[in-house]
Structure 1
């Protein structure tokens, strides 16, 4: 069986795209896409064999076929007439028009095809668990409890924080800045140690060293050491504040800082970091809390300490700790 190929070199931002197995498959798919317009019975049999040989072949051909309507509406130079000494050779791809069409297909299809060959993986921690990882580029990430972080073996310069909290110690590379995605938010490293937390639709960013850009493609808010940012995705509200650089990522030492967050948020943070099963009565949940609290991870100490700070009563019910406002509760 003869497999047709196109020798096309793509240049993106001045750097030549390195050919790999996937590029070969894309070229073969383009060849079949063009060839089938005048295919005979034998050609179709060969095409079916090629499609069935690998799921990647079928996926590549499907992607190329999707671009057909784009190419069909484009205007390309007319094909060059065959030379007199062509000896009757049947060229399936001839002239500048066909080359331009093939190049357009590659340019459209290649990014999505290559994306399928990423190697994503997830690092997750249970409530009360902590982990520390080091990426191949030297970047280290300290991960708090109740956190889910998505990374990619093939692109170690991006991390997606699905939920939870992590402190990033980034090895800066101006050519390939490190990016953290959290919900709809993008945070770009400018040479940094910074902390990112995401809980429900609330996001916080704190910078200890260097700087980061919050939403670099839109607001482009630059945060320097000691700067903190909180964002409410539901309300679309962003608030800037200050924090001592030494307190950034304070969860690592048990020093937690809150600024106007609800007590429900404080309780959820304790549950995530230490696995403390803390229940708030309805009259406490929405009450705002501002202050810095030192927690040890020992509920016997932490829950009464928090209760005294907020003027609440506490009691224990098995593995649950219950906080309530009002008359003292029996323990």
Structure 2
């Protein structure tokens, strides 16, 4: 691998645009790491290596469970610097950890990310989301685990069903397009189907073991609160689960986050606040409890925090102020 090829690979991995095969190529390079494996003209002097490693260690305290990943950071850091900056250290530490044959992709608040799995399945991860998936899928199944929200375009493979595990539901598919929202702190878990079909299995509460089949333009909702009820017309309805018919336009709005479009439909502050906190990496404090009864509907494309707050304020007739860089007080 030439230095130029190596630089291009690092740039793609760091920007989140690398395929699973390209990410694997980087890990394979690491596994074969040695003087002969270094890119041409990419070797630092011994003094530069020591200074760089000291700088990294001053900023990062590696945990035992991710020791191997930090070792990767140190060794690549000692080998290659592009344009005077360490390219992979922050990326591996924050967004991509490896333990054995598993991969862990973490997206912090305020960011979104796209990745391609080993089978060609494409996944978009929303802010504050985590996806774990194997380096290579098994011969008879494909399984991943999600906390947060993700949009999946699953590569069709009839011999290997694709399963998304969350803390409360499992979604089983062969090849389809769907969105899953399963944030632990949210009041409900949702799965919206765009194309194909999926089988949702509930693995918690009184509905444990129950299965529901979704068809295009349907949305499955499981309440995380025993007394919470949806106000939408439902096909399947009991105290905790609903399957709703939704329009194509609503699907576009709900999945628009992939294109930096923030959308909310008849949402009250208790549901809207967590979304805003994840989207902008902020803390929202509501000082007047009566404001929790307000409802908001709207779609804002590529909008900054001030634009969103001004739009909400005009609609809800409340006031807000900023405290520091990351706190919004609503009153």
> So what's the TM-score if we normalise by structure 2?
0.56
Query: Cα distance, 1:300 vs. partner?
Result: 1.4
Query: Cα distance, 1:190 vs. partner?
Result: 4.0
Q: 1:271 to 1:283 in 2, by over 3 A?
A: same
SS of match in other structure, 1:133: strand
Q: Which residue of 2 aligns with 1:120?
A: 102
Q: Which residue of 2 aligns with 1:206?
A: 192
Q: Which residue of 2 aligns with 1:317?
A: 323
SS of match in other structure, 2:114: strand
Q: How many residues align?
A: 207
Equivalent residues of 2:102, 2:133 under 8 A apart: yes
Q: Distance in 2 between matches of 1:211 and 1:292?
A: 29
SS of match in other structure, 1:176: coil
2:122 to 135, 140, 158: 140
Q: 1:197 to 1:253 in 2, by over 3 A?
A: same
Query: Cα distance, 1:237 vs. partner?
Result: 1.0
Q: 1:292 to 1:254 in 2, by over 3 A?
A: farther
Q: Which residue of 2 aligns with 1:167?
A: 151
Query: Cα distance, 1:323 vs. partner?
Result: 1.6
Q: How does 1:156-195 map to 2 (within 5 A)?
A: 157-162=142-147, 164-195=148-179
Q: 1:296 to 1:264 in 2, by over 3 A?
A: farther
Unaligned runs of 5+ in 1: 1-116, 325-331
Q: Which residue of 2 aligns with 1:77?
A: none
Equivalent residues of 2:171, 2:199 under 8 A apart: yes
Name which of structure 1's ranges 124-133 and 242-251 shifts more when overlaid on structure 2.
242-251
Q: 1:275 to 1:216 in 2, by over 3 A?
A: closer
SS of match in other structure, 1:215: strand
Structure 1 residue 293 and structure 2 residue 284: aligned?
no
Name which of structure 1's ranges 236-245 and 165-174 shifts more when overlaid on structure 2.
236-245
2:242 to 217, 224, 239: 239
Higher Cα Rg: structure 1 or 2? 1
Equivalent residues of 2:123, 2:152 under 8 A apart: yes
Q: Distance in 1 between matches of 2:193 and 2:215?
A: 6
Equivalent residues of 2:284, 2:330 under 8 A apart: yes
Q: Which residue of 2 aligns with 1:56?
A: none
Q: Distance in 1 between matches of 2:224 and 2:200?
A: 14
Per-residue Cα deviation, 1:186-218 (whole angstroms, up to 9, x for no partner): 111242111111222521111112121111894
2:180 to 196, 205, 213: 196
Q: Distance in 1 between matches of 2:290 and 2:152?
A: 33
Q: Which residue of 1 aligns with 2:273?
A: 267
Q: Distance in 2 between matches of 1:288 and 1:181?
A: 33
Q: 1:215 to 1:282 in 2, by over 3 A?
A: farther
Equivalent residues of 2:118, 2:136 under 8 A apart: no
Structure 1 residue 306 and structure 2 residue 312: aligned?
yes
Q: 1:146 to 1:230 in 2, by over 3 A?
A: same
Equivalent residues of 1:264, 1:285 under 8 A apart: no
> So what's the TM-score if we normalise by structure 1?
0.56
Query: Cα distance, 1:310 vs. partner?
Result: 2.6
